């Protein structure tokens, strides 16, 4: 199978390596020419393994039959959407972003077959061509529009755990709630994921936030039991959340597509979460 991955951040590089390891033909589309040149010269380092993966900044090089995986962060979509609107890209597309603020814009794209994915792996980007896989997990997919059967070959990729879900909204919103419970707290406190369980004050805040969200979303106990939140913190105990990593690096955090989306979706006011949102927003001003 052929895959093109747009975006060479942590998730994009991890996905490229896993697909290459599974025997697929993989191409990376990077934003910066120097990163493409580095990857072409040295490959992508995944632990002690070097994967030689073709990289380019040229969107015209995308093969028409390749699955196209969009792995840029939410803020990077503003550069991706115009390409899909103005270029004759008919490929099946999979979006791997956190949050849900972009879903309405995806529905307006001219492409026929589009799916969304939720990545439940831990990964850290060390350099432009090097990553560390910090937690093995699963890729979950759901159809946004088009023909579901087009994406079913993704469920038989050797060595890659994948799942298909029939309800895209529930799949993506579950991930939003997970991120809402973990990421803002880590970004505010500087704690790693596991420390949200061992630090009694942080754990108390997380429990209070879960209770607040449960009042707004009555089905939350079924969609995302608190024990599953704790289990994720335990399995990624030494991980730095993506929101904390962005704050430490001075990058824009994914506050609107995760936290603001949750605030807007809630039928009642969420004072604790809104306080987290304003505190984090204030650090970006």
Domain ranges for the chain: 2-166, 171-284
Q: In the prediction, which pLDDT does 90 show?
A: 86
C-alpha distances out from residue 27 to 56, 64, 281, Å: 8, 13, 36
Say if residues 72 and 80 touch (Cβ distance below 8 Å). Answer: yes
Q: Do domains 2-166 and 171-284 have the same CATH topology?
A: no
Q: CA–CA separation, 245 vs 239, rounded Å? A: 10
| pTM listed for this prediction | 0.92
Would you report the helix, strand and coil content of the chain in percent, each value rounded to 5? 50, 20, 30
Q: Are strands 162-165 and 122-127 parallel, antiparallel or unpaired?
A: unpaired
Q: CA–CA separation, 57 vs 37, rounded Å? A: 10
- Torsional sign, CA 215, 217, 223, 226: negative
Count CB neighbours of 255 within 10 A: 23
What are the backbone dihedrals phi and psi of residue 198, each rounded to the nearest 5 degrees, phi first?
-90, -25
Which of 175, 192, 230, 281 is catalytic? The answer is 175
How far out from the chain centre does Cα 256 lie? 14
The predicted-structure confidence for 13-37, as pLDDT tens digits, reads as follows: 999 999 999 999 999 999 999 999 9
Q: In the prediction, which pLDDT does 265 show?
A: 98
C-alpha distances out from residue 148 to 13, 114, 189, Å: 26, 9, 42
**Tokens for 281?**
């927003």
Long-range CB contact pairs, 224-230, < 8 A, 24+: 224/174, 224/177, 224/178, 229/178, 229/181, 229/182, 230/197
Say if residues 54 and 26 touch (Cβ distance below 8 Å). Answer: yes
Q: In the prediction, which pLDDT does 92 show?
A: 95
Q: In the prediction, which pLDDT does 181 show?
A: 98
The tens-digit pLDDT sequence of the chain (285 residues) is 999 999 999 999 999 999 999 999 999 999 999 999 999 999 999 999 999 999 999 999 998 889 999 999 999 999 999 999 887 788 999 999 999 999 999 999 999 999 999 999 989 999 999 999 988 899 999 999 999 999 999 999 999 999 999 999 999 999 999 999 999 999 999 999 999 999 999 999 999 999 999 999 999 999 999 999 999 999 889 999 999 999 999 999 999 999 999 999 999 999 999 999 999 999 998
Say if residues 97 and 74 touch (Cβ distance below 8 Å). Answer: yes
Considering the domain 2-166, what is its CATH architecture? 3-Layer(aba) Sandwich (3.40)
- Dihedral-angle region of residue 56 (phi above 0 means left; psi in -120 to 50 means alpha; beta otherwise): beta
Q: Has 230 been annotated as catalytic? A: no
Nearest Cα neighbor of 244 from 283, 206, 189, 195 is: 189
DSSP letter assigned to residue 148: G
User: CATH topology for 171-284?
Assistant: 1.10.1040
C-alpha distances out from residue 101 to 11, 12, 194, Å: 19, 20, 28
**Tokens for 30?**
């990077």
């Amino acid at each position: 199978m052929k895959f093109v991955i747009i975006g060479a951040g942590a998730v994009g590089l991890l996905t490229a390596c896993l697909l290459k390891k599974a025997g697929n033909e993989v191409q990376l589309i990077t934003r910066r020419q120097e990163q493409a040149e580095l990857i072409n010269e040295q490959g992508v380092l995944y632990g002690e393994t070097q994967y030689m993966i073709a990289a380019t900044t040229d969107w015209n090089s995308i093969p028409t039959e390749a699955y196209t995986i969009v792995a840029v962060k939410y803020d990077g979509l503003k550069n991706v959407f115009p390409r899909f609107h103005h270029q004759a890209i008919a490929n099946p597309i999979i979006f791997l972003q956190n949050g849900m603020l972009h879903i309405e814009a995806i529905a307006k794209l001219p492409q026929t077959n589009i799916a969304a994915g939720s990545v439940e792996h831990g990964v850290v980007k060390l350099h432009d061509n090097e990553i560390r896989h910090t937690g093995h997990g699963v890729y979950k997919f759901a159809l946004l529009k088009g023909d579901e059967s087009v994406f079913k070959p993704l469920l038989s990729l050797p060595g890659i755990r994948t799942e298909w879900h029939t309800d895209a909204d529930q799949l993506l919103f579950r991930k939003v709630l997970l991120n809402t419970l973990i990421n803002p707290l880590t970004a505010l406190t500087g704690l790693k994921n596991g420390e949200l369980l061992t630090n009694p004050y942080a754990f108390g805040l997380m429990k209070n936030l879960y209770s607040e969200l449960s009042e707004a979303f009555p089905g939350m106990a079924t969609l995302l039991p608190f024990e599953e939140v704790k289990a994720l913190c335990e399995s990624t105990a030494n991980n730095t959340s993506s929101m904390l990593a962005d704050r430490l690096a001075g990058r824009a955090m994914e506050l609107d597509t995760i936290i603001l989306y949750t605030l807007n979706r809630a039928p009642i006011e969420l004072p604790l979460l809104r306080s987290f949102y304003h505190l984090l927003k204030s650090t970006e001003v």
